[in-house]
Structure 1
């Protein structure tokens, strides 16, 4: 029986194919590529997943000036204009997925119908209008992400511009080349089918991305998780939906188990991936040497 390749092996193969393809298309000095990942994976910058940049709320607050939102230690995030949520993140991840196959700055092309199908949305007229509004929001929301220790910051829109042909329904979209700097501070591999299986459960989607990049997840208080995901629910209600969302992650095998202790601390256990196990082993060796 043929051995099924691991996620790490798929990533390595995809990266090799991407490098070979780019070498044929552009000169080395022009090669500014996102990390390559296979079809079933989405590569997402860590800073996008570790705070309230993309909230769980369906209500969209408006900020006239750059306004701080919650983020994990080491990162500061400020936003201006319409707030983004998990539906916006679905679209953003799909757009990054298309961009990964060519240098940043090159145009990304897709039809509205194909994008709506990929997002598992209806394909009628109102859905096309919603897609246009979602793209406009990604272009209009200004984001500042600051890495405290590195003393560096990204400031700008997550999508630069788009052109639409109404006869064909085809979009031509462009990212700013500075998008690459988001990946320079680390990224997380997201299982796209797992994320899609969570449907409209925005909190489960946020938690799925938040914990995906952690080999050994930190324990957070219920109140802290409420702040980090941008929920506006009262604490008692948030605790209830949090339990249901964590159960959803167990059901899709994204995490192994969870519990909330008497101090309202949320403990999540998961099985590290092969690459995460290697990282943990290296960290253990360094700690022993220290």
Structure 2
């Protein structure tokens, strides 16, 4: 009986969060219409509760945001590792998990507003929100990351839908030098990525993983799976963009990262069998459970 009450309470909280986000988006659109005297743009990101970040699956299911600390500059369109169903090519300076922290937080700020509109924040508050210090060094790192996200050209093909997104993940950015205030803009093309499917990333869990890049990558990767498939250790090494050459060393890193996921409550357990297949135990989200239930009813 207690479990039923807990589930009902969680559903009510989730509904209230979604309703609040929707109300913010509608208020922003109404304010825009009043200020311009013309119909407001209604295109916007899907809404999600405040405790999660909504991230397109295409971004999380490969090495576009990898775990490497060494930056590589791809001068030409370069094929990036991804799961079956996606083909990803990239031109520019490679992204990693620190860049994904920034992108996820920016998308969350943009979520209540129509796409193409200004999203404003101070660097100080932004860095604190993503669990970083606010020193001058951190400010400079943030500047580099914004430029990197604007400069990297991404080409993501959904091979089943036969559709390709081409462009940068952040359209424009402005900075006030005296105040440290930033403005970023996401354009309507971002919807193409979300329409291909997106997942809720537990933000508190991600922040708790700190600087563990592999654990953060696994956290996002498995969040896109309603029912996680078994993957070979070698396959995971490729998909996350690991620069570790020896497989046994990566396997050690993987075990440590999986234990970190258990410690923050992202998964319940994991196993690597004699065939080097990795399986995890994870409770699907309410949305993913609905998907599984629908799939089970199909003939």
Normalising by structure 1, we get a TM-score of: 0.94
Aligned-pair CA distance for 1:11:
4.9
Aligned-pair CA distance for 1:116:
1.2
Q: Residue 285 of structure 2 aligns with which residue? A: 273
Q: Residue 198 of structure 2 aligns with which residue? A: 187
Q: Give the Cα separation in 2 of the matches to 1:28 and 1:218.
A: 46
Structure 1 residue 5 corresponds to structure 2 residue 17: no
Q: Give the Cα separation in 2 of the matches to 1:84 and 1:68.
A: 14
Q: Show structure 1 runs of 5+ residues with no match.
A: none
Q: Which runs of 4+ in 1 moved over 4 A?
A: 26-29
Q: Residue 43 of structure 1 aligns with which residue? A: 54
Q: Residue 165 of structure 1 aligns with which residue? A: 176
* Contact kept? 1:86, 1:202, Cα under 8 Å: yes
* Contact kept? 1:8, 1:275, Cα under 8 Å: no
Q: Show structure 2 runs of 5+ residues with no match.
A: none
Give the 3 Å change call, closer, same or farther, for CA 5–107 of structure 1 in structure 2. same
Q: Residue 141 of structure 1 aligns with which residue? A: 152
Q: Give the Cα separation in 1 of the matches to 2:51 and 2:234.
A: 33
The partner residue of 2:119 within 90, 102, 108 is 108
Question: Residue 10 of structure 2: SS of its match in structure 1?
Answer: coil
Normalising by structure 2, we get a TM-score of: 0.91
Aligned-pair CA distance for 1:163:
1.1
The partner residue of 1:76 within 79, 87, 102 is 87
Deviations 1:30-54 (A, max 9, x none): 2011011222110000000000000
Q: How does 1:10-29 map to 2 (within 5 A)?
A: 10-18=16-24, 20-22=26-28, 24-25=30-31, 26=33
Count of aligned residue pairs for this structure pair: 287
* Cα RMSD after superposing both structures: 1.8
Q: Give the Cα separation in 1 of the matches to 2:154 and 2:29.
A: 32
Q: Give the Cα separation in 2 of the matches to 1:11 and 1:77.
A: 33
